Amino acid sequence: YCAESIIVGLYNILKMLIVTQVKKKDVWDEKTGTEVSGYFFIFFFIIHYGFFVAMQLIFFLGSSKIADTINPIKALTILPSLMDGYTKALLWGFIGIYGLKMIIDFIFSGEFRRASLGIIMFSPYMRIFIQQFVVIVGGFFLTFGAGKIFMLVFVLVKIFFEVFISYDRVLSLAQRKQQIEKEIRDRNKNQL
């Protein structure tokens, strides 16, 4: 799941790079209407999301006793050695599926022309919430030697969120709200 989150994060950076080619700036602060460069969104995302993913990886490796490290770079170098052929094939599958989804739903649809950098930037954070919940709760199970219960909790929580929570709908509603607020701000500026 952590490796999948890394893949999602890399595709998110790619989406933000594409949008930044279309619009150089976007709204950073909704209340003031402050706009910043798309590259600032990307830099902030890499630091912020990267921090969460690194912490989750360290906690997972530490609580599962797979690796004893607090160095996120070392943790990332350990990760490939823990993967068998099936895991690697699954990750390549994720890369392919997320890539196709981005090409079809984001590029071919023209969504990249309308997309908000702020919405894109925060889109993968639900994964972090799920990770934090699962790692914290799962850590307790692993501490007491209940690894199978940990996996069951993880799978059930992941299935629940993916089946019952429509991320795309939540994001499209947030993006529509942001567009309406921008239109109101622009109208108010023009009236002054």
Residue pLDDT, tens place only, 147-180: 777 777 777 877 777 777 666 677 677 777 777 8
Position 106 scores a pLDDT of 92
| Maximum CA extent, the chain | 66
Percent of all residues in the chain with a pLDDT value above 70, rounded to a whole number: 84
Res 14: pLDDT: 97
**Total domains, the chain:** 1
More confident residue, 91 or 176: 91
99-125 pLDDT, tens digit per residue, is 999 999 899 999 999 888 988 998 888
The pLDDT confidence band at residue 145, using thresholds 50, 70 and 90, is confident
User: Nearest to residue 122, comparing CAs of 57, 20, 48, 17?
Assistant: 48
User: What Cα–Cα distance (Å) separates residue 52 from each residue in 48, 59, 99, 113, 181?
Assistant: 7, 11, 23, 29, 30
pLDDT value for 4: 83
- 164, HSE (Cβ side, Cα atoms, 13 Å): 6
pLDDT value of residue 15:
97
- Residues spanned by the domain of 134: 2-191
Instruction: Specify the range with the lowest mean pLDDT, choosing from 1-15, 43-57, 129-143.
Output: 129-143
* pLDDT band at 49; cut points 50, 70, 90: very high
Chain centroid, CA 190 distance in Å: 36
CB within 8 Å of 78: residues ≥ 6 apart: 61, 66, 67, 69
User: Smallest Cα–Cα separation from 19: which of 91, 120, 129, 140?
Assistant: 120
- Quick one: 93 exposed, middle or buried, by C-beta within 10 A (0-12, 13-18, 19+)? exposed
pLDDT of residue 81: 79
For residue 8 the two structure tokens come to 């999602």
Judge whether 64 and 135 are in contact, CB under 8 Å: no
Looking at residue 70, its pLDDT comes to 59
